[in-house]
Chain A
Amino acid sequence: MFVLKLLLKNAFRHRLRTLLTMVGMIVAVCAFGLLRTIIDAWYAGAEGTSSTRLVTRNAISLTFVLPLNYADRVRRVEGVTGVSWSNWFGGVYITERNFFPQFAVEPASYLALYPEYILPEAEKKAFLLDRQGAVVGRKLANQYGWKVGDQIPLRGTIFPGTWTFTLRGIWDGVDARTDEAQMLFHWKLLSENLRARGGQNADHVGVYIVGIDEPNNAPLISQRIDAQFKNSLAETLTETEKAFQLGFVSMSEAILVAVNAVSYVIIVIIMAVMANTMMMTARERLAEYATLKALGFPPAFVVKLLFGESLVIALGGGILGMLLTLPLAAAFAKAVGTLFPVFVVSDTTMLLQLAASVTVGAIAAAWPAWKMSRIDIVNGLRHVG
């Protein structure tokens, strides 16, 4: 108790210095947490995937489509429990800045494969019955203030013209990892429109979403599906939904590596600042540590005092930084809208923030503690702080 009191009093002896160091810790831990959350958000699409879903696409590239008649053949593959399909629409809502993903999907089978989209039964029914209908995630609806029954006009970029949809339902994600920033509408509407305009690609889909019975069978089922279409005009490439999403993430991997590196560089910088603070502190108290040793306190006591003080400052700032990360992340998520469909400070990030704070505190104290534990008492007593 006495030691705790002593180290706490020591920690706040130079209030301004301690305060500034803690502010540095708060900023560093906050920045670290936000950067980690951005990385997590990048991977959120992959993290929110299901292990019982596969994605089958054209083996050449995602920009090449697949015939609709593949659906029946995929459905007959052993281990497949359901098949749906979707096309990327790429429409613009009012201006290009309002980006969010829109997919033309086969609604009944698609919603069956995505049980994490919690849609009220009445809204689901209304959506299934309305060819012009659409459903969106809660986050997207909140961002634009949409409510059920609203008309949503989209300007097609890949598929020309103005497409107006009636919002029939708003889904909530089953958990924080579920994407709530998408829009789904009837694939048939797209197909009929394409047919009316000349028929090219009218009976083609972007990707097939394939439900499977057992996650462990994913490689085998993928092989079976792709084998069905070997040497055809449109060979397929089937992979797990996670691998499919990670394919997108890998396109921006260099950026992620840089963000990751910066997040750790910030911690290293604050570690240097903190170490400097502790070194100054130790130097100023040389005579006090010498006095303690003269009185009979072992070197370990001095080490304990310095480590304790360093940890109090680092953890104090670190915990405040962790707490501040939550509202800052919420504000950031609001500011960037649907750019990051899932932007949540994870438990892992908070644990990393805590671990970084402890590490900064411990490493910053290591050198001064070692030096002070070895000070010569006589020389230390001569020191005027």
Chain B
Amino acid sequence: MSVAGDGGAGQTLIRIRNLSKAYVRGEQFIPVLQGLDLDVRRAEFVALMGPSGSGKSTLLNLVAGIDKPSGGSIIVGGVDIATLSEGALADWRAAHVGFIFQFYNLMPVLTAFENVELPLLLTTLSRRERKAHVAAALDMVRLTDRVDHYPNELSGGQQQRVAIARALVTDPTLIVADEPTGDLDRVTGGEVLDLLDDLHRQLGKTIVMVTHDPKAAGRAERMVHLEKGVLVPDPAPGAV
């Protein structure tokens, strides 16, 4: 089953073809994704939805380059990341992917500023340039008054905003978000989604977000549904 984007080839950022992923546990072979095709256009905001175990997080991990497929190709910005070595994939992630996790995954011993600065250590930017980038990113998420706070001194929503700043500070081609509102209350979650919306609309970022929450998914431009490792057509309006 395939749900390819409707954009032209020039607009396509992610092109997934015949993607499969399976895990082997002992003698058990567990297929998670099977023969999946998907296109994501540049500057598109896509929500991946589906029940638990449908393979949506696996798909997100594969697109983000933190997992390797069992078969098929994932071409992001013209690069088939399925063929990259571990080292090349790490470099690719550093340059092209911004991560937003459900539980923020901030370094507890670093301040908000330092957490946002972390990915910039992998660039050739000078210290001054790094500071400017971090300040701009924190400004974007409206946390300039919390730069010296440690994660445990911030609320969940603030921590997720720091994580968003960290995801966008390197100006990545792609932002992947795994249940970004999953650990937040509705109001704070809404604020985080507003931010993602801003990143998409104002900065033209391509965002792929996994969520269980239909309301969160509703903020995306397009919803992609997975069930038992295959893409299924969008349910009828109101069925969500």
Q: Do A and B assemble together?
A: yes
Q: CA A5 – CA B107 in complex, angstroms?
A: 13
- Chain A's closest residue to B163 (CB) is A291
Other-chain contact of A377, B67, B108, B110 (Cβ < 8 Å):
B67
CB distance from B58 to the nearest CB of A (A): 8
Interface residue stretch chosen among B75-83, B86-94, B188-196, B230-238: B86-94
Other-chain contact of A378, B67, B94, B103, B166 (Cβ < 8 Å):
B67
Interface range on chain B (Cβ under 8 Å from partner): 20 to 34
Q: Is A247 an interface residue (CB 8 A)?
A: no
Query: Given the complex, which residues of A lie within 8 Å of B103, measured CB to CB?
Result: 384
Check A378 against B66 for contact (C-beta < 8 Å). yes
Q: Assuming the A-B contacts A294-B64, A378-B66, are A9 and B110 also in contact, with contact meaning beta carbons closer than 8 angstroms in the complex? A: yes
Q: Is B118 an interface residue (CB 8 A)?
A: yes
Interface range on chain A (Cβ under 8 Å from partner): 20 to 34
Query: Given the complex, which residues of A lie within 8 Å of B114, measured CB to CB?
Result: 2, 5
Q: Assuming the A-B contacts A295-B99, A296-B90, are A6 and B107 also in contact, with contact meaning beta carbons closer than 8 angstroms in the complex? A: yes
Q: Assuming the A-B contacts A294-B64, A294-B99, A296-B122, are A6 and B109 also in contact, with contact meaning beta carbons closer than 8 angstroms in the complex? A: yes
Q: CA A381 – CA B107 in complex, angstroms?
A: 13
Q: Is A277 an interface residue (CB 8 A)?
A: no
Query: Given the complex, which residues of B lie within 8 Å of A298, measured CB to CB?
Result: 87, 90
Q: Digitize B13-50: 1 where CB-to-A-CB distance is under 8 Å, 0 elsewhere.
A: 00000000000000000000000000000000000000
Check A294 against B119 for contact (C-beta < 8 Å). no
Q: CA A344 – CA B193 in complex, angstroms?
A: 69
Q: CA A257 – CA B152 in complex, angstroms?
A: 53
Check A13 against B122 for contact (C-beta < 8 Å). no
Q: Assuming the A-B contacts A2-B121, A288-B105, are A294 and B110 also in contact, with contact meaning beta carbons closer than 8 angstroms in the complex? A: no
Check B91 against A296 for contact (C-beta < 8 Å). yes
Q: Is B147 an interface residue (CB 8 A)?
A: no
Check B119 against A287 for contact (C-beta < 8 Å). no
Check B109 against A296 for contact (C-beta < 8 Å). no
Q: Is B95 an interface residue (CB 8 A)?
A: yes
CB distance from A233 to the nearest CB of B (A): 82
Q: Is B61 an interface residue (CB 8 A)?
A: yes
Q: Is A132 an interface residue (CB 8 A)?
A: no
Q: CA A381 – CA B99 in complex, angstroms?
A: 12
Check B95 against A296 for contact (C-beta < 8 Å). yes
Query: Given the complex, which residues of A lie within 8 Å of B92, measured CB to CB?
Result: 296
Q: CA A264 – CA B64 in complex, angstroms?
A: 49
Q: Digitize A2-14: 1 where CB-to-B-CB distance is under 8 Å, 0 elsewhere.
A: 1101100110010
Query: Given the complex, which residues of B lie within 8 Å of A114, measured CB to CB?
Result: none
CB distance from A379 to the nearest CB of B (A): 10
Q: A2-B121, A5-B114 are in contact. List 10 more A-B contacts (CB 8 A).
A: A10-B109, A13-B109, A288-B105, A288-B108, A291-B105, A294-B66, A295-B122, A296-B93, A297-B94, A298-B87
B interface list, Cβ under 8 A from A? 61, 64, 66-67, 87, 90-95, 97, 99, 101, 103, 105, 107-110, 114, 117-119, 121-122, 166
